[in-house]
Amino acid sequence: MRRSTRISSKQSVSTVVTNGSIKNESHFFTGDEDIVKTTSRKTTRTKRTVRSTKSDDSLSIDEEHMEEYTEELDNDDDDVVEKPRAKRRKVAIRTITKKGNANAQLLLHEHLFGSSPDTTPTQSIPAAVLPSRSHNLNYHRPLLLASKQGRDSLLTWFDQVSTKRNMPWRKPWIDPRSIQDKVELHSQLKRRAYEVWISEIMLQQTRVAAVIDYWNRWMARWPTIQDLAEATPEDVLGAWRGLGYYSRATRIHDAAKLVCADSDLRGLLPDRVDELVARVPGVGRYTAGAIAAIVFGKAAPMVDGNVLRVLSRQLGLFGDVKADKAVIDLLWAAADRLVRAVAQDGSGSDDVVPDNLKDGEEQTSDRPGRWGQALMELGSTVCTPKPNCAACPISARCRAYDEGLQLAARKGLVPKPAARNNSPIVDVEDACTLCKPFEEYADDDDGLNDQDNTSEIIKQQKSKTQVQATLQSFAFTTRTATKPTKKTSTTKSLSPSPAPLGAAATEVIANHARKFPVKVIKKAVREEETLVCAIRRRSDGRYLIHRRPDKGLLAGLWELPSHILEDPQNSTAKTRKMDAERYVTGLVGKVRSGTVKYVSDLGSVPWLFSHLKLTMHVHVFEVDGGKVEDDEGVEERGGNGTRSRWSDGVGIDEESMGTGMRKCWALVKEASVV
């Protein structure tokens, strides 16, 4: 006779990483404190009495992510029938990778990136099985971790290209051993940290070419952090005009005043990532990592959008690098392990001699900063959304490149021995659950039509060159001599220099790589329409301007009085004119001016923010009345206090104003209303 029993929900699951797979042990507790232990590796059960129902917190899964299981029992209560292994293991792996359990995630990161990971060598990790890309978690261990030559190749490449874009904030690392005077060292580090900090904040969401002029003007106006701290908010916002995200400028100004007022910092930004994030407003872990690595030589990861894309391809991680926290955290962990490996690689004058280090002091050099900038430079110039794999210095260690090479071999564009196609079938229980299903999320366009494919194959068949192509054969390959052994001749044999890939094969590889990371469909931006009212005072020709609130969109900037349309879908030119007249009449009554006269409709100015599509309808008004003192306070309807004043045309030109609003002001001036 068989009966069903629900096991108590008091349970714990332990996660163990062995031999490249994740093994889970589940303990189900009965009311008598007996423990029934099950594992995916056994079909029998053992029963023992325990005194505690607590498991090791470092390996347990949060109870909120658990499921209750119903087990089939025989007459003998000790004989427990195991649930299907695949289901139990799949739930546990999904918990680790998707639910973000902190302890299990740390265990996974240590498994993949730890200094002594429990994995097979990277060279023997099976490749992904195409076209589905089935693979296990070990596949995401960076090949660069096992290749000092690959890491050095990227640094060498960066040293060669770092000056091509003329970025004025890229300067040699300040070696603290080279400056004996502590006061002078403090002064130089303070200036350098300030320069890097400003450049990194400006570069967020802004092209390098646009930032260069802004950075040069900024540094000419405020060459030190003390100079910035003494500036007025209006001047800071004015200097930031055109860069967007104006709250960044406000936070920079606030942070400068805070750092200069701190008796411990004395104007010098902290040199540790955690302190930078905790003590400096507006500094996140990316900016903190850049300052710590570039300025202070600390082994800190620098991960921006470009680096996330590079590492996604390097690791063959087909995931959402913008919203999937498990994927983002894994890439950050990989970046952290790589920069520490690069820091340990160094030798020579750039490295602090360990004997000179004080207790707890970290070894520093220019290598972490160069490495972080190299990854960002690679992502912005080579490993772009449409990559140029032929120019990449580390394609030989790139998982996405390797997969593209396999595809090229299948199309006959590369000899079949070129691609690593020895991948065994991946056990579904050990399969990676971090990556999205490739065939569902990746498009089928490989950038090569049948006609190009056929012509390229014919060209390669005519060639008599034998190509021994491997993953390492296409990037910075050198001819090396084979070391003789007892069974081999002492004659030195040189490895053949591989022929370059054809254009069609290169295109197939690049089009496969561009699918990484997962392309996320952007949400439709919110649309909004506003009435922008230029109100000119006839007595002195001045215009009324408002200052926006200190928080929110375009915080602290000046603008012409504006009113959001409540029903833009049903608005017409006539209704907008009526709405503008009502808005201005109510507003002018609060500044004690006379009658309102509608002048003209100057048209519309569209402006796109990252999250908002704004259409501004510009209307011009004139008001009668006596001269009013400058900076007289007024209040908007609704009781919200608003800082306002009357200003002439020259004054408005000099005000800190958003780019879209400045276009509206330009329409007013062009209409000769000034």
Angle between helices 399-410 and 503-513 (to 10 degrees): 130
Task: Judge residue 65's burial from the number of C-beta atoms within 10 Å of its C-beta, 0-12 exposed, 13-18 middle, 19 or more buried.
Answer: middle
In a domain, residue 355? The reply is no
Point out which residues pair with 646 in neighbouring strands: 544
d(CA 368, CA 153): 14
Q: Which residue has the higher pLDDT, 463 or 609?
A: 609
Q: Which residue has the higher pLDDT, 459 or 402?
A: 402
Residue 497 has pLDDT above 50, yes or no: no
pLDDT score of 156:
96
**554 lies in the same domain as 649:** yes
pLDDT score of 656:
81
Residue 198 has pLDDT above 50, yes or no: yes
- Determine the average pLDDT of the residues in 399-416: 89
Region of poorest pLDDT, from 27-41, 58-72, 516-530: 58-72
**508 lies in the same domain as 530:** no
pLDDT score of 492:
35
d(CA 532, CA 661): 8
Region of poorest pLDDT, from 72-76, 170-174, 231-235, 484-488: 72-76
pLDDT score of 585:
87
Region of poorest pLDDT, from 446-455, 555-564, 638-647, 657-666: 446-455
Region of poorest pLDDT, from 2-16, 254-268, 581-595: 2-16
- At 559, the pLDDT band (50, 70, 90 cuts) reads very high
The top-scoring range by mean pLDDT among 2-16, 239-253, 577-591 is 239-253
In a domain, residue 613? The reply is yes
**179 lies in the same domain as 46:** no
Active site residue 230: no
pLDDT score of 321:
94
Region of poorest pLDDT, from 104-113, 247-256, 400-409, 660-669: 104-113
- Pick from 499, 506, 508, 491: nearest CA to 464: 499
- Residue 630 CB partners (closer than 8 Å, separation 6+): 645, 646, 647
In a domain, residue 246? The reply is yes
- Pick from 178, 268, 166, 278: nearest CA to 211: 166
- Determine the average pLDDT of the residues in 129-156: 91
pLDDT score of 218:
97
- At 377, the pLDDT band (50, 70, 90 cuts) reads very high
d(CA 489, CA 487): 7
Region of poorest pLDDT, from 405-414, 457-466, 664-673: 457-466
Residue 229 has pLDDT above 50, yes or no: yes
Distances (CA, A) of 582 to 596, 612, 633: 10, 26, 21
pLDDT score of 425:
60
- Determine the average pLDDT of the residues in 175-183: 93
Rg of the chain over Cα atoms, rounded to whole angstroms, equals 32
pLDDT score of 97:
44
- The token duo for 310 is 């590079």
**505 lies in the same domain as 575:** no
Choosing from 73, 90, 113, the residue where a domain stops is 113
pLDDT score of 72:
32
Residue ranges making up the domain that contains 76: 3-113
**547 lies in the same domain as 658:** yes
pLDDT tens, position by position, 614-652 = 999 999 999 886 554 444 444 343 344 567 888 888 888
92, 24 Cβ separation under 8 angstroms:
yes
Q: Percent of the chain beyond pLDDT 70?
A: 67
Which phi and psi angles does 408 have, rounded to 5°?
-60, -35
Choosing from 457, 481, 513, the residue where a domain stops is 513
Point out which residues pair with 598 in neighbouring strands: 621
Q: What CATH number is associated with residue 272?
A: 1.10.340.30
d(CA 150, CA 165): 24
Peptide bond connecting 131 to the previous residue in cis, omega within 30 degrees of 0: yes
d(CA 591, CA 642): 12
What DSSP designation does 224 have? S
**498 lies in the same domain as 540:** no
**536 lies in the same domain as 633:** yes
**427 lies in the same domain as 459:** yes
- The token duo for 606 is 């569209």
Instruction: Answer whether 0.75 is exceeded by the pTM.
Output: no
Q: Which residue has the higher pLDDT, 108 or 25?
A: 108
Number of domains in the chain: 4
Token match 């005194």: residue?
51
Q: Which of 25, 200, 456, 622 is catalytic?
A: 200
- Determine the average pLDDT of the residues in 528-544: 91
pLDDT score of 242:
83
Region of poorest pLDDT, from 6-10, 328-332, 405-409, 619-623: 6-10
**547 lies in the same domain as 506:** no
In a domain, residue 585? The reply is yes
- Per-chain mean pLDDT for the chain: 75
In a domain, residue 353? The reply is no
Distances (CA, A) of 331 to 116, 125, 307, 318, 368: 19, 19, 9, 11, 17
Amino acid occupying residue 538: R
d(CA 244, CA 614): 14
Q: Which residue has the higher pLDDT, 583 or 346?
A: 583
pLDDT score of 422:
52
d(CA 517, CA 442): 10
- Determine the average pLDDT of the residues in 478-504: 47
In a domain, residue 464? The reply is yes
Residue 224 has pLDDT above 90, yes or no: yes
pLDDT score of 624:
81
Q: What CATH number is associated with residue 608?
A: 3.90.79.10
**559 lies in the same domain as 588:** yes
Residues found in the chain: 674
pLDDT score of 172:
95
Choosing from 271, 296, 321, the residue where a domain stops is 296
Task: Judge residue 198's burial from the number of C-beta atoms within 10 Å of its C-beta, 0-12 exposed, 13-18 middle, 19 or more buried.
Answer: buried
pLDDT score of 47:
40
**474 lies in the same domain as 412:** yes
In a domain, residue 309? The reply is no
In a domain, residue 521? The reply is no
**419 lies in the same domain as 477:** yes
pLDDT tens, position by position, 580-607 = 999 998 887 655 556 888 999 999 999 8
What DSSP designation does 283 have? -
pLDDT score of 595:
81
What DSSP designation does 435 have? S
pLDDT tens, position by position, 286-341 = 999 999 999 999 999 999 999 999 999 999 999 999 999 999 999 999 999 999 99
Residue 254 has pLDDT above 50, yes or no: yes
- At 655, the pLDDT band (50, 70, 90 cuts) reads confident
d(CA 97, CA 90): 11
